[in-house]
Chain A
């Protein structure tokens, strides 16, 4: 009998298992697919080309996890991305470099004022990020509880708030309430600069750059920078799956058992308490506790069953917003394409490439999605990892990862329209990108298109939400995934949560997995 069974071999499930195993607990991880990683996965879908099929960049993977689990020894290397490139149909586009002087020259082409303000903005964000950062490294306290530990954690938070200058407090409030565009309007004048900055506020959400609340997510982009790294965004060598595999190797070395091709059908319940799991093949596996790395909808509607839950929790669950809004196109390329606005193969191609020419372009892309269609000209975030990490493609050839928004899960005719729409969606993406690099189409050896429907069916992400639930304020911190249940416990006795649907949320951080394990151990659950 196991101390704990973890459902789902994604990076969080594996991290949770590794920490439990490190504390001497007997853990089993069950992964439905043939490959570990969940949405942090590398798959060789075309011979010689390793796609980071879903998640493709990493910013906030907690450095203490790399240290504590010795992930470098288990093969993990994070390679920083060079820059952020925004190509335009006319003019040279915009590149934001890690070197501030170079960025200044780039921005000054469009606004001398913005060029001055840009580093100021960075400092202000860094200051706020420092305030918020400890939150992602601690379990969320329960604001309604009078337990001493919660009271003192709340008091500490209040203390931190009070220590903010009035100016910072005002920034913080704006950040929590404004739209990304409104927030940026307070700082910058050039729409060419604002557009690629604003997109950080909408990634993975079903909101537009002008929707209130999107400013907060901008802040997340500055948090990675205070972890002792020069640049916040990076690629995992060998693809994003290497992060999961490194954690898996660490977990196995610490004694955890990991099984692939082991789909869970349901959680074994007895007297309102989780006893273990039943696999799809009928095998019953018992454990003292069950930990779900899957999203709240799949966990409770799928594995637990609604009849085990009270109506209040169910109503929270039903209002929990998943609404996937993005898709992914992965390409194998025979050679590197060329961007018309910046010809040649320079460093500008070694960063992330944002198709976000203007605020209106982004808002129009959202307009399509509002009425149940994928964007005719979508926002795209393109990365060519093989330029930074030659190991993911044969020599001289390349892999291109294209994150696409918006692709609403609920199409006008229903989500099940997606299989018929998949090719049209892929064509739209290629056609739009080809406006910026006309030779793209002639270089494509293989194309792999993932719609939100595919993300749900293949990767178990309900409604194709890449973060296991939107990263909007009302679904974060004390409220993730439901008020009163932000500390990895669930209304079901002996069932815990450790995935991105738990605090502090999505992204390849592995923080929910680690914090859940530490919480479970601290509470003596096993």
Chain B
């Protein structure tokens, strides 16, 4: 049976829809209401709060922590300063991505790594020769993401000693939240201003209550996975298990991906100390990836016309979709769209896709399969830049932005 998260006592009565999902063996809300729209709008215009406790969390400590992390992940973490966090991925020896997450340097010799899948075994196996301790703190820490343009005000209202206004994008601070010791990172999965709060699980409810009490005037609202999914697509963020298959889950070689194939090449500096997958990635870098991950904008007018031919108004699923759909160029299949969503804020029909690199240039027009009344057809979809939605407050320090 799934387990409750540390926030369950508060979340369960709010989940009037009974729309639960299971995330890493724990109860997670899909939508609190019959429709996630209110929650989506909280993320985009006020503050949405989502329980991200099911994330796997690992504390890495010791004198070799930086070298060790630089060995197991593609990023050189020797330059990550105390009080900073970074997004990264790690690969196997063949340079195929296993998982992605964030790594925060909380203090000198103390890092925290998040992962979508359990990694303790792999992290430990690869720690040989390094003076580090690896602690699985997944159950010890509860985590909440508070995301949206007013999240800075919400956070400021429950913290005294955290320099909320001075905290930069991907900043990390330790301090007290509602009298509870916590780690705050300016990170998230919505592509907007936002923070993640990490507290010991027995303090979870205290922090939740304080947040909702003082956040009320800033439009705070609990949110579920459905709303998050729309936001993460607008932000162009990939999801392991949806937009790519982690190397440990792949059954065949072609299901695996390298960082370059996922558009994460920017985080891989090849000319540095050795790391797992380095030589394979060096080899790939020479020829370039054969597959690329791109953003697509699906032509709305054409979609309306297609539905119109059946006498129907254009209809879209109410939630983001994640069952892959073929993509064509001149009737030849050149890839697949892996997930997508109607963007309420952009009024655009968006998708993330894996395509043959020859057809990945910005502006390229592909055809995406659409099924209307059980009949297959295609409509044009253009390769566009991601993030699709990138509000200025995401990275801004000035609270007036």
Write the residues of chain A forming the contact surface with B, with a CB cutoff of 8 angstroms: 63-64, 66-67, 72-73, 77-80, 82, 98-99, 130, 226-231, 237, 388-391, 395-396
Contacts and interface: CB of A to CB of B under 8 A. Distances in A.
Interface stretch (B41-49, B118-126, B179-187, B356-364): B41-49
A64 B302 CA distance: 13
A395 B344 contact: no
A72 B35 contact: no
A66 B349 CA distance: 13
Given A66-B347, A388-B41, A388-B219, 4 more contacts: A67-B348, A229-B344, A388-B45, A389-B219
Given A72-B345, A389-B45, A395 B318 contact: no
A64 B301 CA distance: 9
Contact of A80 (B37, B46, B219, B318): B37
Contacts of B217: 390, 395-396
Contacts of B316: 228
B218 A390 contact: yes
Contacts of B37: 80, 230-231
Nearest to B219: A390
Contacts of A80: 37, 41
B150 interface: yes
B313 A66 contact: no
Interface string B211-236: 00000011100000000000000000
A99 B34 CA distance: 8
17 contacts: A63-B300, A66-B346, A72-B347, A73-B390, A77-B45, A78-B345, A80-B41, A98-B35, A99-B35, A130-B313, A229-B344, A230-B318, A389-B46, A390-B217, A390-B218, A391-B45, A395-B218
B342 interface: yes
A63 B85 CA distance: 38
A98 B38 CA distance: 11
Nearest to A226: B313
B178 interface: no
Contacts of A79: 41, 45
A231 B40 CA distance: 14
A226 B304 CA distance: 11
5 closest residue pairs by CB, A with B:
A395-B217, A63-B347, A66-B347, A390-B219, A396-B217
A79 B390 CA distance: 18
A396 B150 CA distance: 14
Interface string B149-184: 110010000000000000000000000000000000
Given A63-B347, A66-B346, A67-B347, A390 B150 contact: yes
B275 to A, nearest CB: 37
A72 B389 contact: yes
Nearest to A163: B311
A78 B347 CA distance: 10
Q: Main SS of chain A's interface residues?
A: loop
A286 B45 CA distance: 43
A230 B300 contact: no
Contacts of B389: 72
Nearest to A61: B347
Contacts of A390: 46, 150, 217-219
Contacts of B149: 391
Contacts of A396: 217
Given A66-B347, A390-B150, A396-B217, A228 B342 contact: yes
Nearest to A76: B345
Contact of B346 (A67, A99, A395): A67
Contacts of A67: 300, 346-348
Contacts of B45: 77, 79, 237, 388-389, 391
Contacts of B153: 395
B329 to A, nearest CB: 24
A98 B37 CA distance: 11
Interface in B194-223: 217-219
A77 B348 contact: no
B314 interface: yes
A389 B150 CA distance: 10
A77 B219 CA distance: 15
A30 to B, nearest CB: 29
B157 to A, nearest CB: 9
Contacts of B218: 390, 395
A137 B230 CA distance: 28
A79 B219 CA distance: 13
A67 B301 CA distance: 11
A99 B345 CA distance: 21
A162 B37 CA distance: 38
Contacts of B150: 390-391
A179 to B, nearest CB: 29
A99 to B, nearest CB: 6
Given A80-B41, A390-B219, A228 B46 contact: no
Given A230-B318, A390-B219, A77 B313 contact: no
B345 to A, nearest CB: 5
Contact of A77 (B33, B35, B44, B342): B44
A62 B33 CA distance: 28
**B149, B153, B344 — most chain A CB neighbours (10 Å):** B344
Nearest to B300: A67
Contacts of B313: 130, 226
B369 to A, nearest CB: 20
Contacts of A231: 37
Contacts of A230: 35, 37, 318
A80 B149 CA distance: 17
Nearest to B344: A229
B173 to A, nearest CB: 23
Contact of A228 (B38, B41, B314): B314
B193 to A, nearest CB: 13
A132 to B, nearest CB: 13
Contacts of B41: 79-80, 388
**A72, A77, A230, A237 — most chain B CB neighbours (10 Å):** A72
B346 A72 contact: yes
A229 B345 CA distance: 10
A63 B342 CA distance: 12
Interface string B287-329: 0000000000000110000000000011010100000000000
Contacts of A78: 344-345
**A389, A390, A396 — most chain B CB neighbours (10 Å):** A390
Contacts of B219: 388-390
A82 B35 CA distance: 12
A129 B56 CA distance: 50
Nearest to B35: A230
A495 to B, nearest CB: 31
Nearest to B315: A228
Nearest to A238: B45
Nearest to B389: A72
A510 B343 CA distance: 21
Contacts of B300: 63-64, 67, 228
A396 B218 CA distance: 8
Interface in B18-58: 33-35, 37-38, 41, 44-46
A336 to B, nearest CB: 11
Given A230-B37, A389-B45, A396-B217, A77 B318 contact: no
A79 B221 CA distance: 14
**B150, B301, B314, B345 — most chain A CB neighbours (10 Å):** B345
